[in-house]
Copies of this chain bind each other. A is one copy, B any other.
Amino acid sequence: MPLKPDIDPPTPQAQRVGFALVGIGKLTAEELIPAARISEEAYIAALVTSEEDKGEAFARAFNLTEGDVYSYEEFDRLAERDDVEAVYIVLPNSLHREYAVRAAQMGKHVLCEKPLSVNVEDAQAIVDACQEAGVKLMTAYRCQYTPEHWAAREAVQGGALGKVKLLDSIHVQVEDDPEAWRLKRDLAGGGPVPDVGIYCLNTLRFVLGQEPQWVFAAQHQPGGDPRFREVEESVSFMLGFPGGVIANALTSYGAYKTTTLRVLGEDGSLLMDPAFPYEGLKVQISDKAGKREPSFPDYNQFGLEFDHFARCIRQDQTPWTPGEEGVQDHVIMAAIYESARTGRVVELPKVDGQDAFRGTQPDVPKQEE
């Protein structure tokens, strides 16, 4: 038969970094399975879950055996697994600290979903534990790894928009289920701010490469809505950046899904709409010459994260979004909540320099020419 497939089959697992996935939910099923499958640097070597039968079903989806599935009680047995070099923590926020610290103490590198934790103290404890154990720690800010967000950052910092004056970002969605852990203060550490508003905050910091100096915020927590007994429904926050640059942001669990980023510069304006979904990101730049919408190769956001963290492990480099990046968002989110509570501007710790909390730049798929 003369027929030749025109692509290569999936590459072997040798040299790739084996991850234990800690927690199995919608994200795991819909995003991480495909991502892990196409990653060139990482693969899933074990699962940790509370539900044995579902774990085994997922295990098959990852080409794992029953022996690769662990309960939370068995978590420490991962220490015996040399092929598990790292863990990816996708648990409710309040559990991040415990499992990250235990993983670090076993010598496993830690990739942790955002937000890094539920408050500054717990987030810092994760950073400290990983540092002490000599393992890598990365906060899984997927929007700092996409070509679209890097194109936005390049437009902002490279001068395409002229001097940047103002920014605006929105991330709102509807959370319907009053029982969702995201609506429990103990488990989540807050309402929409640490879950979706953090995208606005983190992306504003990322595209500017600078840290805000002050914050003002207002919030709304409707009475009588069972969803918002413990956490706020909506928050608006305003950030003051160096040089008089001001950014506004809106976040909510009570509004129809909308995700945007706008940057207003002297010579042009940039719009990402949508700005934060797993796929279908769009970047549009408008200036005197008209509008343009750059095009990028296909990619998988979680695959890019896996790849970056695996490379940092292999090459002994600090991830682009290490634990410190996650701590800084907690510092600012604490100030957002304080401002919303007091009705006053809250000053933030002075931070100099560009990308003060970031590590080695990731490889990002390039815009096509």
Contacts and interface: CB of A to CB of B under 8 A. Distances in A.
Interface stretch (A129-137, A288-296, A330-338, A352-360): A288-296
Interface residue SS majority, chain A: mixed
Contacts of A10: 57-58, 60-61
A102 to B, nearest CB: 14
Contacts of A174: 266
B3 A92 contact: yes
A37 interface: yes
B256 A269 contact: yes
A252 interface: yes
A248 B238 CA distance: 9
A264 interface: yes
**Closest 9 pairs between A and B when the two form their complex, measured CB to CB:** A9-B57, A220-B244, A290-B295, A292-B292, A1-B50, A255-B264, A290-B294, A288-B368, A248-B248
Interface of A: 1-10, 23-26, 28-30, 34, 37, 49-51, 53-54, 57-58, 60-61, 63, 71-72, 91-92, 161-163, 165-166, 168, 170, 172, 174, 181, 216, 218, 220-222, 233-234, 236, 238, 240, 244-246, 248-250, 252, 254-256, 258, 260, 262, 264-269, 280, 286-295, 343-345, 367-369
